Amino acid sequence: MPSSVIASYQYDAVAHQLKVIFLSGMVYVYKNVPESVYTKMKNSISKGKFLNNYIKGKFEFTKLDQ
């Protein structure tokens, strides 16, 4: 999963939350993300572009302190 902006990501299927850890160290948790959206992100070639186009601005999020 090489990405120029995303270090890693995890999906909680029970809570429907997508946790994204950026290379900068920032961590965001996107809420109420359907599993189908996570699956499409997982299968996308560019995780960063997918995040920008289909997740940012569309799902409520919380920024976690590191």
Contact 23, 5 (CB under 8 A): yes
Kindly report whether the global pTM for this prediction surpasses the value 0.75: yes
Contact 27, 34 (CB under 8 A): no
Q: Kindly give the confidence (pLDDT) of every residue in the chain, 66 residues in length, as a single tens digit, with 9 standing for 90 and above.
A: 557 899 999 999 999 999 999 999 999 999 999 999 999 999 999 999 999 999 999 999 999 976
Alpha helices in the chain (DSSP H): 35-43, 47-54
